[in-house]
Amino acid sequence: MNDDVIIVPMSPAHIAAIARIEAECFAQPWSARSLEEELNVPSAVFLTALSGGEVAGYMGAHHLGGCAYVCNVAVARAFRRQGIAAKLVRAQTAAAREAGMSEITLEVRHSNAAARALYEQSGFEWIGTRPRFYSDPTEDAEIYTLTFGGGSNL
Ligand SMILES: CC(C)(COP(=O)(O)OP(=O)(O)OC[C@H]1O[C@@H](n2cnc3c(N)ncnc32)[C@H](O)[C@@H]1OP(=O)(O)O)[C@@H](O)C(=O)NCCC(=O)NCCS
């Protein structure tokens, strides 16, 4: 656990570093421009994890129709297994709950064991599969949801 980590709203100063993390993690990374556009989207809640002032990871979601949809979560390789993604998930979950959302939901590649373990450990429930949802490479998506009904286990 890294106690030196703080979670803050994503700001223009974080964009270049987050785009580098995206490129490190994904075959189809979000560009700096796409990330920057999210700063002006009213439904967007994008959070940055700072470790000793350095951008270590981020997590984005949209609050739409009473539900929080997670777009992405990524942590730079150098900062992994320090509890940073778990902290981002807790912060997004708290933001969704505070905004009055009824649930927070996401899709993850079937083969992404690290992310699936992260969500399961964070209290999300597997609710189904979207066949062939992803491309490059083609793969099923697993859907995970955390519903805010009368208190959660977070
Ligand atoms: C998935 C990812 C965000 C996890 O980030 P992280 O900061 O290393 O995760 P944490 O340290 O907060 O780990 C929390 C829990 O997730 C699970 N986990 C994280 N990495 C794991 C791994 N490599 N293997 C198995 N479980 C893992 C564990 O349950 C872990 O708890 P533990 O450390 O007590 O065992 C990171 O590996 C990443 O950025 N991957 C590439 C991008 C990606 O796949 N994003 C998800 C898209 S849906």
State pLDDT tens for residues 82-115: 999 999 999 999 999 999 999 999 999 999 999 9
SS3 at position 53: coil
By alpha-carbon position, which residue is closest to atom 12 of ligand 1?
Answer: 83
φ and ψ of 80, to 5 deg? -75, 160
Please check whether residue 97 is in contact with residue 146, taking contact to mean a CB–CB distance below 8 angstroms: no
pLDDT at 150 over 90: no
For ligand 1, whether the C-beta of 114 sits within 6 Å is yes
Residue type, 129: T
Rounded Cα distance, 110 and 59, in Å: 19
For residue 25 and ligand 1, the question of a CB distance below 6 A is answered with yes
- Answer whether CATH 3.40.630.30 is correct for domain 5-147: yes
Check if 75 has its Cβ closer than 6 Å to any atom of ligand 1: yes
E-assigned strands of 31-66?
A: 44-51, 54-64
Q: Which of 18, 25, 75, 110 to mutate to test the pocket of ligand 1 (most atoms within 8 A of CB)?
A: 75
Distance 75 CA to ligand 1 centre (A): 8
What pLDDT sits at residue 102?
96
Are 106 and 119 within 8 A, CB to CB? yes
CB 143 within 8 A of CB 106: yes
Cα–Cα distance for residue pair 118/144, rounded to 1 Å: 11
- pTM, entire model: 0.96
pLDDT digits (tens, 9 = 90+) for 42-69: 999 999 999 999 999 999 999 999 999 9
Q: Is 111 in the pocket of ligand 1 (CB under 6 A)?
A: no
Arithmetic mean of pLDDT over the chain: 95
Q: What is the DSSP letter of 123?
A: T
What pLDDT is attached to residue 153? 44
Q: Which residue has the higher pLDDT, 52 or 153?
A: 52
Residue 78's pLDDT is what? 96
115 lines ligand 1 (CB under 6 A): yes
